[in-house]
Amino acid sequence: MNATLTDNGKPRERKQLSDQIDRLDSILDGLADALNEAVADAAREGARVAVKEAIFEVLTNPELRALVARPVEAGPGAPIAPKPMLLARLKARFAQLRERAHAAARMARPAAAPPLRLAWRIRKVLAIGVAAGSLTAVASYTAPHTLSAIVSSVGGMIAAVALQAGLWVRAVGRKLGML
């Protein structure tokens, strides 16, 4: 709210505190924006000058150039051996890893031989089991809920019967001296 006063008969508005605070706030906002821009410009310019001076110093100072230059171990005119390509380094690293894996397998072979022989003998049974289990899983996943429950219960029953039959066959084979 502005009150009017008179100066020598001329009306004059009286400045209110809220108007002055608003004006001060807008001045501070302007200063903040200008300060951010000024700091960014100064930092950009300072970095540019520092990089320029550093490059100039490296290029013109013989001591720094001598430190940066790589000494040539071979005689003058001898070609410098190129650094191996990434693919060659990867091949060498994989060859080294493969040799380590082979060495570890040779060390572990005596302990792992009996379980591996057993797995090799029953590989066909294991392959059929994995295939049947995978096929059952896909069928159960795509089938309706009721059919899926029936298939899983029948599958569980067959697995239990097969396990029990296998145990019985093994026990009979041991009693008869076949196993």
pLDDT digits (tens, 9 = 90+) for 68-96: 665 555 556 666 666 778 888 888 888 89
* pLDDT of the residue at 15: 78
Same domain for 136 and 96: no
Residue 79 located in a structural domain: no
* pLDDT of the residue at 102: 83
Instruction: Fill in the amino acid letter for 170.
Output: R
* pLDDT of the residue at 80: 67
Mean pLDDT of the chain: 78
* pLDDT of the residue at 152: 81
- Mean pLDDT value across residues 110-125: 72
58 or 2, which is more confident?
A: 58
Same domain for 132 and 178: yes
The pTM of the full predicted model, rounded to 2 decimals, is: 0.28
* pLDDT of the residue at 71: 58
11 neighbors 5 (Cβ within 8 angstroms)? yes
Residue 77 located in a structural domain: no
Residue 74 located in a structural domain: no
Same domain for 103 and 145: no
Same domain for 46 and 92: no
Count structural domains, the chain.
Answer: 3
Which one, of 40, 11, 139, lies nearest residue 3 by Cα?
11
140 neighbors 152 (Cβ within 8 angstroms)? yes
Confidence of residue 111 (pLDDT cuts 50, 70, 90): low
Expressed as residue numbers, the domain containing 50 is 16-68
* pLDDT of the residue at 160: 87
54 or 12, which is more confident?
A: 54
